[in-house]
Amino acid sequence: MTTDSFAREVDDAVARALAEDLGVEAAALLAASPTVLERDATTAALFDPKERFRGAVNARQPCVVCGVAAAQRAFTMLAEAAGLAGELRATPLAADGHEVEAGTSVLWVEGPARVVLAAERTALDFLMVLSGIATEARRWQRAAGPALKVYDTRKTYPGLRALSKHAVAAGGAHNHRAGLWDMVLIKDNHVTRIGSVAEAVRRAKTARPDLLVEVEVESLADAIAAVEAGADVVMLDNMDDDAVAAAVRAVREAAARAGRGVEIEASGRVTIERLPRLAALGMDRVSTSRITLAPPIDFGLDEE
């Protein structure tokens, strides 16, 4: 993603999250009305509009930080919506991808208490979810070692695909396709409908010669057929170590006969403990949903 496209993804996600929490439409939130703060029944009832808040968002446990821009934007966007943009300051104290210890401050916030406290949950949620993904991504990639690349999948929380993949990259792992549009990935249901791996690859290469073509296979024969048909990546699905070893040898031999390189990926039944074995077997990459569906990291907002 470019800087501009990332900023748009952040703004879109934050606007939807704030609107959800305040019980308004995103368009109404962005229409800039002081009455938007009345939607937080608790802070509107308890605090005078002139009351100020100064404090920091702190990590409650060691982690790889991610989501700082989204957390910062939650505070500034709500201030803008309330017509108080000039009265709030949110300053990043850590960058996405940094490893921090428990107790580390990652964002400083000061401004109208009603704005800060109304945006608090949204800001923390982005940090919790995205830092969880980045932390798990780094844990998996470190376990895999330098030769084996760990990739994410399309199994992400709906509406958070782009930010989740940003978090994977911040953690040092790798992004698989962004969606259905930027790569061909032939899976079992496609092959069943078409009739064979070879025919599925042939059709895909003919229709979309501009895109990478990956094929999910469950047998040695289909792995070889995928290479011979022109697949760029062969995904070995749910194979044990013995089957993986045989498939790697067969794919390498078929690729050599074809005179081109083919990447080999493992998916299904991939655990972090298994990564060193898969690396030793000669895999190029693994893909897993474990990183994008990682447990969240605890963050809190503490007043000075």
Domains assigned to the chain: 3-141+295-303 (3.90.1170.20), 183-287 (3.20.20.70)
Strand-by-strand arrangement of the 89-92 sheet? 89-92, 105-112, 52-59, 299-303
Contact 254, 273 (CB under 8 A): no
DSSP state of 278: H
Contact 178, 164 (CB under 8 A): no
155: annotated active-site residue: yes
161: annotated active-site residue: no
Q: Tell me, what's the pLDDT at 211?
A: 98
Rounded distance, CA 115 to CA 13, Å? 18
Averages of pLDDT over runs of 10 residues in the chain (304 residues) are 89 95 85 84 95 98 98 97 95 98 98 98 98 98 97 95 97 97 97 97 98 97 98 97 97 97 96 97 97 98 96
Q: Among 238, 293, 228, 230, which Cα is nearest to 265's? A: 238
Rounded distance, CA 232 to CA 219, Å? 17
Tokens 């108080």, residue located: 84
Q: What is the pTM of this model?
A: 0.95
Q: Tell me, what's the pLDDT at 30?
A: 74
**Amino acid, res. 74:** A
121: annotated active-site residue: yes
Active-site option among 39, 155, 202, 252: 155
Q: Tell me, what's the pLDDT at 107?
A: 98
Contact 234, 227 (CB under 8 A): yes
Please, how many CA atoms are within 13 Å of residue 173, restricted to the half-sphere of its CB?
33
Active-site option among 152, 216, 222, 265: 216
Active-site option among 187, 202, 203, 274: 187
Q: Give Cα separations from 149 to 250, 265, 298 (angstroms).
A: 21, 9, 28
Q: Tell me, what's the pLDDT at 26?
A: 82
For the chain, the farthest-separated pair of C-alpha atoms sits apart, in whole angstroms, at 76
Residues contacting 222, CB < 8 A, separation 6+: 191, 197, 215
50: annotated active-site residue: no
Q: Tell me, what's the pLDDT at 32?
A: 65
149: annotated active-site residue: no
Active-site option among 39, 89, 121, 202: 121
Active-site option among 21, 214, 237, 284: 237
Strand 263-267 and strand 233-237: pairing?
parallel
Rounded distance, CA 272 to CA 141, Å? 9
For 140-156, the DSSP string reads: HHHHH-SSSEEE--S--
Residues contacting 112, CB < 8 A, separation 6+: 49, 50, 51, 52, 53, 79, 82, 84, 87, 88
